[in-house]
Amino acid sequence: MIRISGTRALEIADAVFRRIGNPAGTLAEAISHTVHHGYVEREGIRLDEVLATVLRAPRTFTREDTVEISCHGGRVVTRQVLESLLAAGARLAEPGEFTLRAFLNGRLDLTQAEAVADLIEARTSLAARAAVQQMGGRLSERLRSLREDLLNILAHVEAHIDFPGEDIAPDSRERMLARLGDARDQVEQLQRTASEGRILREGVRVAILGRPNAGKSSLLNLLLGNDRAIVSAIPGTTRDTVEECATVRGLPLVFIDTAGLRETEDPIEAEGIRRSLKAAREADLILHVLDGTQPPTTTADFLGEDLALKPTIRIRSKSDLSTVWEDPFLRDAVAVSATTAEGLETLRSTMDTRLGTQHLSADEWSVTVNARQAAALHRAEDSLTRTIRSLSHEASLDLVALDLRAALGALGEITGQVTTESLLDAIFGQFCLGK
């Protein structure tokens, strides 16, 4: 589908479109939200048989006149139809330009526009459903209510600035402080959703650690359901990290198979081990694989202090083989066999519990913030904290008002009520073409 949006959309479409059964009929004459059967032509040559949908402003995505041409979708024919439109006076859209126009024309705010990008990039159905709800304005509604309350407080403060002879009564000051405290709590609550938002957008990073031949690559293949990693009895087969994404319980998980941890003189293997430890430090969860047929003999079987505080699940691998040792270290380990898949569901349930994702739903994560929004919320929280401190110590009301305006400005950046050209370029430049 090729979309044309703007004041000349109907004119440009008419330059290449010929209606079947009524060649003289034009799209400019058509009523809104109607579909027309015809051909796209260029210099008298038919390029494709298409359907042209006429959508008149303001009832369109961009709130501009729009024509959508549905062609047969092959690369050559689509390019030819596109080239015919460009020759008629259209130009290629910039990345995210359709959504940018929707924002500039008041169809969406910035949080909804960013949700469009999240929907396009969603890797799971859970992420897609959460993005759709965000597009519906869940976050916008909460921010709108919060800003209205802060604006009311600011109005009271500025009224007292305009009439300096009237001090704020103690009970009024207490009510204002309570409302500001509640506003700060709401901001903090929204900030805490940033981790859930990152998980939905980027996935949970799960590092698989252990010594050579412990069964790490076999475990990765079992979790993925295919032979992604090379499995060999030769120690040190995995020389670098191997990343693969899978969906578990509707959540995107990025599994990272790592080089076997051991002392080595091989510089290539040593570099692989260094990268493995770095991946583990950056992971959200560690699957620590220990060979169930061998007693722990190397430091790889005992993670260092820098990884000790990471959420970790110990796994006793090769559970289908006879265990020749017992150790308190593995008393709570999950027994798993990559050969028979024994223990796989137990491992998945344990992962759910450790990640706190066992009861996930799109409704539960319908309001999550991204990194940009979280940074703005952090500035708003700092400003509100200063406001509360100044008001509590009966500081100058000019300072109180200044900090309140800073908080409102930070919140306005999230929805787009306060914008700069560079901010819009940064946001919409990440979109794919045609969106």
Question: Which domains does the chain carry?
Answer: 2-92 (3.30.1360.120), 115-193+368-428 (1.20.120.430), 208-355 (3.40.50.300)
| Cβ count within 10 A of residue 123 | 17
Token digits for 21?
């059964």
| Segment (H or E) for 286 | strand 285-291
pLDDT at res. 261:
72
Q: Which residue has the tokens 């008149």?
A: 56
Token digits for 117?
């990008």
Q: Are 17 and 40 in contact (CB under 8 A)?
A: yes
pLDDT at res. 76:
93
Low-confidence residues in the chain, pLDDT < 70: 164-167, 226-241, 249-250, 262-265, 295-306, 308, 322-330, 356-366, 433
Q: What share of the chain is helix, strand, coil (3-state, %, to 5)?
A: 50, 15, 35
Q: What are phi and psi of 417, to 5 degrees?
A: -70, -20
Question: Cα separations (Å) of 377 from 142, 332, 345, 408?
Answer: 13, 40, 39, 10
Token digits for 185?
């709590």
Q: In what order do the strands lie in the sheet with 45-55?
A: 2-5, 66-70, 45-55, 34-42, 17-19
- CA gyration radius, the chain: 29
Question: Cα separations (Å) of 210 from 70, 128, 180, 237?
Answer: 53, 34, 50, 13
pLDDT digits (tens, 9 = 90+) for 51-61: 999 999 999 99
pLDDT digits (tens, 9 = 90+) for 297-350: 655 555 666 676 788 888 888 888 866 556 666 677 888 888 888 888 898 888
Question: Cα separations (Å) of 275 from 25, 149, 153, 242, 256?
Answer: 65, 49, 52, 11, 11
| Segment (H or E) for 53 | strand 45-55
With 0-12 / 13-18 / 19 or more C-beta atoms within 10 angstroms meaning exposed / middle / buried, residue 72 is exposed
**Rounded-to-integer distance, Cα 8 and Cα 86, Å:** 12
Query: Residue 193 pairs with which residues in a beta bridge?
Result: none
**Rounded-to-integer distance, Cα 318 and Cα 28, Å:** 70
**Rounded-to-integer distance, Cα 214 and Cα 252, Å:** 25
pLDDT at res. 223:
83
Q: Are 107 and 336 in contact (CB under 8 A)?
A: no
Q: What are phi and psi of 194, to 5 degrees?
A: -60, -35
**Rounded-to-integer distance, Cα 226 and Cα 244, Å:** 11
Cis upstream peptide for 58 (omega within 30°): yes
**Rounded-to-integer distance, Cα 232 and Cα 236, Å:** 9
pLDDT at res. 158:
87
Alpha helices in 163-236, H assignment, sequence order: 170-191, 194-202, 216-224
**Rounded-to-integer distance, Cα 24 and Cα 45, Å:** 17
Q: Are 328 and 95 in contact (CB under 8 A)?
A: no
Q: Are 334 and 312 in contact (CB under 8 A)?
A: no
Q: What are phi and psi of 312, to 5 degrees?
A: -135, 140
DSSP 168: P
pLDDT at res. 125:
78
Q: Are 321 and 293 in contact (CB under 8 A)?
A: yes
Q: Are 258 and 307 in contact (CB under 8 A)?
A: no
pLDDT digits (tens, 9 = 90+) for 100-129: 999 999 999 999 999 998 888 887 777 888
Q: Which residue has the tokens 């990194």?
A: 371
pLDDT at res. 363:
59
Question: Cα separations (Å) of 8 from 169, 179, 341?
Answer: 60, 50, 61
Helix (H, G, I), strand (E, B) or coil at 69: strand
Q: What is the largest CA-CA distance in the chain?
A: 87
With 0-12 / 13-18 / 19 or more C-beta atoms within 10 angstroms meaning exposed / middle / buried, residue 325 is exposed
